Structure 1
Amino acid sequence: MKTHLYKMLLAAGIILFSISSCKKFGDTNIDPTRSSNMDPSVQLTTAQLRFSGDLNVNERTSFMMTMPLVQHIAGSYSNRWGGIYFNSPNVMGVLWEDSYGSDLVNIIDAVKRTTDVAAQSNLNAVCRIMKVYSFARMTDLYGDIPYSEAGLGIKAKFDTQAEIYDSFFRELTAASVQLNTARDAVKGDIFYNGDINAWKKFANSLHLRLAMRLVKINPTKAKTEAQLAFNAGVFTSNADICKTVHEDIQNPYEEVGKGNIKGNGVSASFFNGGAVPGRFTTPFLNQLNSTNDPRMKYMVKNYVDLPGGNPLNRIDITEPLLAVTGGYFGVNPGNYIWDDFKSAIAITVPGVGAYSALNNDQKAQPANFLLRFNAPFLHLTYAEVELLLAEATFRFGATFGGTASSHYQKGIEAAMLQLSLFPGGPTIPSTEINAFLQGNALIAGRELELINTQLWITLFLNGPEAYANWRRSGFPVLTPGTNAEEPGESLTIPRRFEYPYTEEEQNRVNFEKVLPALGGVDSWNGRVWWDKL
């Protein structure tokens, strides 16, 4: 498998190098020089690996912005952009610049190359699904974006998010139907290794996720599309999870050609450049603690502070520290790790001896297994599907295969068990899961809060998706972060990413057409189409 992956990476790296070389000639929407015989399966590999393997994108989009915005992590200086609300178009613009210039160009072209090619019918369907998935992350963060004209070698117009979502639903429905086990074998597929039935379920489950985005802006359409997705067949177990299994490599920053995307880019961002790894926030720890969530003792650890480093050389001091403190300390939203400073605590660490646990040591961190460089990136999980079905059942009625309560319980159980997918991760005993379910039933009048709070926990390490679900649902209720010594640039939690300067400069005519929908200004406090009050 590693040899096969290495060969695909080499080919993908060649594509990426040629594309990144073309970017300097102008607009990120300009189609790079096209090869007449490009292999679309390699283009698929490129799009898949870059999604979670590109350190440049994942560090800024997840670690610096969306994970702090949803108050999963805080404390690192690099968390300040999304945690204290420092507005940096350069940070927000990297996803746009890198995606339009590489993975989106590749997947758009792969769809074109395989359209109406009988011998590549399944590959075409898979690429269409991957195109929707890639563009969904973009539009959910920015709002209106170039879509229908992207990659055509022109100054692309911005499609409205409503138009884009209509296209998403059509594409996912058609691609799911098009997939057929009797047709071509799909090569280059990192997600499912060409499993056609798995791709059908992924297409339908992604359809469900996107349908539930519309519950505020168009609940009737949300219900219709959610039902269509469910009827077509969504995930039914953790075996269906869509994930990228990364290699145990710390992706370097700004590598020539940006070709090394084998490791987990989110994990690498916690340890990049000698930075202090982000800590859990106090609200996240309070949620786990107040509900006696068994995940807490597995996911939350204390380590000897070692800026930079890697997740396999950290010294675990959790048990001796808890024996003294009686509980975990997090970082308050908007704060740095040195705020709320803790005095040193004398402890004895097995195998090490006497140790003075300083302030940084006492602020709780994600466990090693979560941040290993070969940790899987979970794109879409069975747990998320079940929790979305719980909400759909509550909102729309009992036409989704169970009660809201049964879906809720299945979602929580799946979320706890999916931790075992991580190398070195735990298999939480059924006794602990059942005890949690018995003590945390779905309560009448609080259904949306409880379901989406569980989604908030489940989506840890998938910052963009957690941010999207928080905005569409409003839960959990988060208090904006503040820092008395270093005030941020927003009094509320920002609701979207601002467009990069290059788009305003190089595509001004089309750029200016989207501003009225944002209140006349490109502000991160504006709202995307589906995120309405």
Structure 2
Amino acid sequence: MTLICGLALTACDQKLDEMNVNPYGIDPTEVNPNLLMPTILAASAQNYASLGVNDLAGAVQHTQKNGWYGGHNTYSWENMSWTGWYDILRNNDLLYNRAVTMESKFFQGVSLTMKSFVFGNITDLWGDAPYTDALKGNENSMDFQFPQFDSQEIIYKGIITDLKAAVQLFENANNTGVVPANDLYFNGNVEKWKRFANSLLLRYYMRISVKMPAEAKAGVEAIYASGDYIKNASHDAALDYTGGASDIWLTRHVKLNPDDFTRYQASQTFLDQLIGTNDPRLTVWFAPVRVQWVADKTLATATDNNIWRNGEPLGVLTLPFDDFVVLYPKDKFTRRYNPDLISLNDALYVGLPPALVIPESYNGNPSPGQGTHNQHVSTLADIYQTAGSTGDILKARLISSAEVSFIFAEAALNGWSVGSAQENYNAGIEKSLASWGQAGKLSKFLAEDGVAFNNTLEQIMVQKWVSSWTAAAESFADYKRTGFPSLAAGPQSPQPRVALRFQYGNDEYNNNSININKAIENLQLTDYSGGFGKDSQWSKSWLYQGTTTPW
């Protein structure tokens, strides 16, 4: 009887083994790198663009939201998970291992470049993070199940080392075996990948320039001398949005329910800059108010409870957003107010000031509420509304030729051998205008007060901030490093300063508490860290410790 039971159990074990084998699964040791690449590239670009139009766009005051605005307007960055970034890194690590096995220098270079890009964002936003011990959870060691956090200094140095290695790989690589369509950035073009890797090196050399000035100077000068960097929009590392149903921009206008789109409002900080310099990109990025206020001192009440269409009263206080967009796109809507009785912004382009207490009611909105349309404040421009109107300018840009030129302008201002500060500054503006279809307006714009080069770091950083529209992560890092542009926190901000970093997520606290507590000790308390202790949005990571920027 015992023997029979033993045989039965053995048979059951064998069947269980068979059942647990997925016949459709792909063996990691045999996966084709071409199948991994689109997932890595698309997720990286989309994550970066999401930062650039959401929380970090609010932090650098490109935009504000009138609904669901805590993370956007007031730095509610508690328990910020980095899981999505590490998911990308796991796939990327598999890509690298396969590339080594296949002896593909191209795929090795791609993997090292994307590893650097992703880890760069992680350390920029959080500070210390698992790096050396990361991505080793499948190894038979408890050390890797609970990875130690590397210092920000080690991570930045590792990024630079990996990018240098990627450049060397691309020097001798070819695209044999690469499916061009699966390379969502460059269609398998090795030269463009080398330019991308070198341009990321420029970004991170400049990032560490205060802490490691000699290395940064030598690195930037060497890349400039090589000429192998992103020089024009055709070299930009960018993900195109086709406008298809499954490939739409991060903001969306769903007909009859446009609240996801209409909650994105222009920031008055950004509009003041664009309007004050007659910036031709203003009309590309933002829509005029749907209903413009008109001053009328004869009005007996503070505001008129009626909107006017082409000078004729409509007898209604507001219209649905889709009526403005679909039914009356060319009509002029106005509403009267008495400036002796109420103060309102009657400009054609109106933004939300940062961190308002009740942003959804700003400027006399007749239908306030979380996410409802405010007809008296500018939303994003029409190109962001619908899936079919993207054209060729709506992209998720990881790094652009404009950013590279502004890096060289700053480096030249430091006295580094990278050409003229003014020429690089003008080139940065030129390339940004071209990217947004405004190339023909360059000469006039460069002559505007506040734009014509005045040989200051502030001016370079302000124009770099403008050109980083939808790529606000870089302006956020620049602001922390230089203090420019000058940004003031609004009344609803928990602290009277713009925040500096994301808080660590609960996963790390719950599952890796010993190592995260060591990392937190490396953060520097500031006068604004508040009740969170060192893991605060207003604490300083290594890169900014010992400096007086941005405050």
Q: TM-score scaled by structure 1?
A: 0.77
Gaps of 5+ in 2: 1-24, 138-144, 291-317, 338-345, 367-371, 525-532
Rounded Cα–Cα distance in structure 1 between residues aligned with 2:453 and 2:458: 10
SS in 2 for 1:231: helix
SS in 2 for 1:363: coil
1:265 aligns with 2:276: no
How many residue pairs match? The answer is 454
1:525 aligned to 518, 526, 538, which one?
Answer: 538
CA deviations 1:297-340 (Å, max 9, x no partner) are 33221365999989986964696669994532110001254343
Rounded Cα–Cα distance in structure 1 between residues aligned with 2:252 and 2:218: 37
Q: Structure 1 counterpart of 2:379, which letter? A: Q
1:441 aligned to 438, 452, 471, which one?
Answer: 452
SS in 2 for 1:518: coil
1:368 aligned to 379, 382, 386, which one?
Answer: 382
1:194 aligns with 2:203: no
1:404 aligned to 408, 417, 421, which one?
Answer: 421
Distance 1:473 1:159, change over 3 A: same
SS in 2 for 1:71: coil
Partner of 1:454 in structure 2? 463
1:378 aligns with 2:397: yes
Q: Structure 2 counterpart of 1:464, which letter? A: A
Partner of 1:41 in structure 2? 34
Aligned residues with identical type, % of pairs: 24
Q: Structure 2 counterpart of 1:366, which letter? A: L
Distance 1:285 1:250, change over 3 A: farther
State the Cα distance separating 1:366 from its structure 2 match. Answer: 2.1
CA deviations 1:207-237 (Å, max 9, x no partner) are 1011111233222222122223323411122
Partner of 2:62 in structure 1? 72
Partner of 2:406 in structure 1? 387
1:277 aligns with 2:278: no
Q: Structure 1 counterpart of 2:364, which letter? A: K
Distance 1:204 1:321, change over 3 A: farther
CA deviations 1:63-88 (Å, max 9, x no partner) are 44211111111132233223123343
Counterparts of 1:124-523 in structure 2, within 5 Å, are: 124-153=108-137, 154-179=145-170, 180=172, 182=174, 184-187=176-179, 188-232=182-226, 233-249=228-244, 262-265=247-250, 274=260, 276-302=262-288, 304=290, 316=329, 325-335=346-356, 336-342=358-364, 360-370=374-384, 373=387, 374=390, 375-397=394-416, 399-400=417-418, 402-419=419-436, 427-430=437-440, 432-439=441-448, 440-444=451-455, 447-483=456-492, 488-519=493-524, 521-523=534-536
Distance 1:527 1:79, change over 3 A: same
State the Cα distance separating 1:396 from its structure 2 match. Answer: 3.0
Rounded Cα–Cα distance in structure 1 between residues aligned with 2:207 and 2:331: 39
Partner of 2:306 in structure 1? none
Q: Structure 1 counterpart of 2:125, which letter? A: L
Distance 1:315 1:413, change over 3 A: farther
State the Cα distance separating 1:126 from its structure 2 match. Answer: 1.1
SS in 1 for 2:405: helix
State the Cα distance separating 1:136 from its structure 2 match. Answer: 1.1
Distance 1:58 1:506, change over 3 A: farther
Looking at secondary structure, tell me which structure has more helix per residue: 1
Partner of 2:6 in structure 1? none
Instruction: Report if the CA contact (8 A) 1:66-1:82 is conserved.
Output: yes
CA deviations 1:239-280 (Å, max 9, x no partner) are 1111101232466xxxxxxxxxx43336689x9874643111
SS in 2 for 1:530: helix
CA deviations 1:1-21 (Å, max 9, x no partner) are xxxxxxxxxxxxxxxxxxxxx
CA RMSD of aligned residues (A): 3.2
Rounded Cα–Cα distance in structure 1 between residues aligned with 2:183 and 2:363: 48
Q: Structure 1 counterpart of 2:482, which letter? A: S
State the Cα distance separating 1:170 from its structure 2 match. Answer: 1.3
Instruction: Report if the CA contact (8 A) 1:275-1:308 is conserved.
Output: no
Instruction: Report if the CA contact (8 A) 1:311-1:371 is conserved.
Output: no
Distance 1:111 1:315, change over 3 A: farther
Q: Structure 1 counterpart of 2:423, which letter? A: S
State the Cα distance separating 1:510 from its structure 2 match. Answer: 1.3
Instruction: Report if the CA contact (8 A) 2:205-2:219 is conserved.
Output: yes
Structure 1 stretch 490-499 or stretch 520-529: which is displaced more? Answer: 520-529
Rounded Cα–Cα distance in structure 1 between residues aligned with 2:110 and 2:415: 30
State the Cα distance separating 1:293 from its structure 2 match. Answer: 1.3
Rounded Cα–Cα distance in structure 1 between residues aligned with 2:186 and 2:274: 32
State the Cα distance separating 1:40 from its structure 2 match. Answer: 2.4
Instruction: Report if the CA contact (8 A) 1:62-1:266 is conserved.
Output: no
Rounded Cα–Cα distance in structure 2 between residues aligned with 1:417 and 1:386: 14
Instruction: Report if the CA contact (8 A) 1:306-1:314 is conserved.
Output: no
Q: Structure 2 counterpart of 1:238, which letter? A: A
Instruction: Report if the CA contact (8 A) 2:499-2:538 is conserved.
Output: yes
